[in-house]
Chain A
Amino acid sequence: MATQHSKTAARLMISPAVILLFLWMIVPLSMTLYFSFLRYNLLMPGMESFTGWDNYYYFLTDPAFSAALTNTILLVVGVLVITVVGGVLLALLLDQPFWGQGIVRVLVIAPFFVMPTVSALVWKNMFMNPVNGMFAHIARGLGLQPFDFLSQAPLASIIGIVAWQWLPFATLILLTALQSLDREQMEAAEMDGASALDRFLHITVPHLTRAITVVVLIQTIFLLGVFAEILVTTNGGPGTASTNITYLVYAQSLLNYDVGGGSAGGIVAVVLANIVAIFLMRMIGKNLDA
C-alpha cells in the first residue's frame, strides 16, 4: 500500500489538517507571548510599550494567582475523585442484570448532554438558591436554616455542579469497559478457585485501569478549561473564592482590559497545562499502544 504515488498523495491529504492546526497553535500563541512582554491596555490604545518580565511578575505575585491555582487544582482533583469513584460504583451496579436497563442508561447519561450554561443556571437557581431553591425549601421543611451554597461554599458548589455533568461520562465509559470484560476469563478464574473478591481485584480492577486512565485524561483536558459554570454562577467570587486560572485570565484581560497582564497569565496557563499534558500523554500513549 505504499507506493511513491500514494505516499505523496498521503502527504498532500494530511497537510490541510496539519497546517491549520499548526497555525492555530502557533500564530495566536506567539502573539500572546509577544503581548505578555508589553504594557498594553485596551482602554489606552497606542500606548503600548515594552516592559520585560513585569507582567509575569505582577501576575505571579498577585494573591489572586495562588488562589486561582489552588482552586484549579481543587476543582480538577475534586471532580475527578467524585466522578471516578462514583463512576466505578455506578458502573458496577449497572453491570448487574436488572429490569429497565435501557431506560436507566438513558437517564444516567442525560446530564452529559446538558450545555454548561444550562446546568449551572439550573443548579444555581432552582436548587441552590437560598430563598426559592429546592434545597432551601427542603431545609425549611425540616425546620433548618437554608444554606447559601454559592456564597458560603462557592467552590464546593461548582465542583458539585461540574461533577454532576461528568459523572455520566465516567459511568458510561467504565460501564462499557466492564461489559467488554471477557466472561470466559471470569469463568476460567472461577474454575481455578478464585473467590468473588479475588476475581474483582485481579481481573476486574486491572481491566478497568485502562478505562480509568482514559477517563482521567479526557476529563482533565476539559476540567482545566472550566469557564461557563463559574461565569454564570459566581463570577469567580466571592472575592477569588471560586476563580480558577481560566477565569482569572479572562477577568484580567477582558474585564480589566489589561492585555499585557492577561497574556502573561495565558502563557502561565499554557505552561501549566503542558506540564500536565506531558504527564498525561505518557499515560495515554502507553495505553493506546497496548
Chain B
Amino acid sequence: MGKITLRNVQKRFGEAVVIPSLDLDIEDGEFVVFVGPSGCGKSTLLRLIAGLEDVSDGQIMIDGRDATEMPPAKRGLAMVFQSYALYPHMTVKKNIAFPLRMAKMEPQEIERRVSNAAKILNLTNYLDRRPGQLSGGQRQRVAIGRAIVREPAAFLFDEPLSNLDAALRVNMRLEITELHQSLETTMIYVTHDQVEAMTMADKIVVLNAGRIEQVGSPLTLYRNPANLFVAGFIGSPKMNLIEGPEAAKHGATTIGIRPEHIDLSRETGAWQGEVGVSEHLGSDTFLHVHVAGMPTLTVRTGGEFGVHHGDRVWLTPQADKIHRFGADGKAL
C-alpha cells in the first residue's frame, strides 16, 4: 500500500518560504513525476515526504496514518538519491542488505531477498564488489536494489538518472518503468527532463516556486495546459506564445501554438516570415522564423524540408490547436 496525502503542507527555511501551501493526493500504485524549474522546491517536497525535513505546517498522511511527526525510518518509504548515496565501504551485497539488517531481519531471509533483488536488477555477478568498482548504471541499480528489498510503501526518486550518459539514461528509464509495472508500488519521481516526465508518469505534478501549477496525465498537460507556465514548461521545443493584436483576434491576451502545430509553406499562409536559424536533427528540422509583430516563432517540419537563412516562408497555425490564455495567464 502506498497512498500519500499532503494537506496544507508548508515549508520555510528561516525567512524564506519555499513551499507556501500545498495539497496533493497520490494514489496507491501511481507513478507520479514532479517537474519544475530549478529551485522550485521539488527536492524539498520529496524530502518532506521522506521525513528528512520537517514540515513548517500542515499534515502528511501515509496510508491513512498521520506521518507528519514520524522519523524517516518509520515511514516505510525508500529513497534513491541523485548521487546514489551508496555506502562506499560496503560490498554491493552489504549495501543492499543494510536496510534489512537495520530492521533486524533473519539472515536467511536477508540472503533470500538480496539475491532476489540482485536477480531482478542483473547484479548477481557484482555482489562482492564495492561501489567504487561499478559503472554509473550499476551503481544506480544497487541504489534501486537497496530500495526494493525493503518492500516499501512507496519509492522516492530524486533525479536518479541525471548523472548518467544519454544512452544509459534511456535504458534505465525503461528499467524503472518495467520495475514499476511489475512491483505496482507507488513511485514519486523528481526530474527536470521532459522526456522522462512524459514517458514515465501516470501523473505529472508541475511545480513553480513551491506552488502546484497543474496536476494531470502527461497528455492532459500537453493538450490542455491550465496556464501559461505549464504551457511553456511542457513540450519540447517550447510552445510559441504570442501577445498583441494576433492574440486579440482570438479573444485572448496571449495565444499559444506548439511548433509541431504550425503548417509551413513557400507560397501561402496566415503569416509571412523570414527564416533565421534552422536546426537540422535528421528526423526533424526546427526553424526559427522572424514574423513582423511577433516574437521569433519556432516551427517543426520534416527532416528534408530544404530552407536557407533568409528564405521567405508562410506559416499557418492549426486552428484547433491554438491555446488561448486570459490576462491572468489562465487558459480560457
Binding site for B on A (CB under 8 A): 1-5
**Cα–Cα distance between A3 and B52 once the two chains are bound (Å):** 6
User: Is B2 an interface position by the 8 A CB rule?
Assistant: no
A276 to chain B, nearest CB (A): 36
Interchain residue pairs with CB less than 8 A apart (6): A1-B53, A2-B53, A2-B54, A3-B51, A3-B71, A5-B71
Residue of A2, A3, A4, A5 with most partner-chain B CB within 10 A: A3
Residues in chain A near residue B53, CB distance under 8 A: 1-3
CB-nearest residue of chain A to B54: A3
Residue of A nearest to B55 (CB): A3
Check if A1 sits within 8 Å of B54, measured CB to CB: no
Q: Is the interface of B mostly helix, strand, loop or mixed?
A: loop
Closest 6 CB pairs of A and B: A3-B54, A4-B54, A5-B71, A3-B53, A1-B52, A2-B53
With the chains together, A1 CA to B52 CA distance in Å?
A: 6
Residues of B within 8 A of A3 (CB): 51-54, 71
**Across-interface contacts of B52 in A (CB, < 8 A):** 1, 3
How many B residues face the partner with a CB closer than 8 A? Answer: 5
Please give, as numbers and ranges, the residues of chain B lying within 8 Å of A5 by CB-CB distance: 71
Chain B 39-74, CB-CB to A under 8 Å as 1, else 0, gives 000000000000111100000000000000001000
In the complex the two chains form, what is the Cα distance from A220 to B53 in whole Å? 43
Contacts of B54 in A (CB 8 A): 2-4
CB distance from A159 to the nearest CB of B (A): 48
A residues in contact with B51, CB < 8 Å: 3
Q: How far is the CB of B312 from chain A (nearest CB, A)?
A: 47
A2-B54 Cα distance, complex, nearest whole Å: 7
Minimum CB–CB distance from B91 to chain A (whole Å) comes to: 26
Interchain nearest-CB distance for B53 vs A (Å): 6
Bound CA–CA A5/B53 (angstroms): 10
Tell me which residues across on chain B come within 8 A of A2, comparing CB atoms: 53-54
Q: Note all chain B residues with C-beta closer than 8 A to A1.
A: 52-53
| Distance between B47 CB and nearest chain A CB, rounded to angstroms | 9
Contacts of A4 in B (CB 8 A): 54
Among residues of A, the one whose C-beta sits closest to the C-beta of B53 is: A3
Residue of B whose beta carbon sits closest to that of A5: B71
Query: What CA separation (Å) do A163 and B113 show in the bound complex?
Result: 63
B52 to chain A, nearest CB (A): 6
Give chain A residues whose Cβ lies under 8 Å from the Cβ of B71.
3, 5
Cα of A4 to Cα of B71 in the assembled complex, Å: 10
Q: Which residue of B lies closest to A1 (CB)?
A: B52
How far apart are the CA atoms of A2 and B53 in the complex, in Å? Answer: 6
Tell me how far the C-beta of B6 lies from the nearest C-beta in chain A, rounded to whole angstroms: 17
Instruction: Give Cα distance in the complex from A3 to B53, angstroms.
Output: 5
Closest-by-CB residue of B relative to A3 is B54
User: 8 more A-B contacts (CB under 8 A) besides A3-B53, A4-B54, A5-B71?
Assistant: A1-B52, A1-B53, A2-B53, A2-B54, A3-B51, A3-B52, A3-B54, A3-B71
Taken together as a complex, chains A and B put the C-alpha atoms of A267 and B323 apart, in Å, by: 80
* CA of A3 to CA of B73, assembled, Å: 13
Complex CA distance for A232 and B159, rounded to whole angstroms: 65
A2 vs B18: C-alpha distance when bound (angstroms):
15
Complex Cα–Cα for A172 and B54 (A)? 46
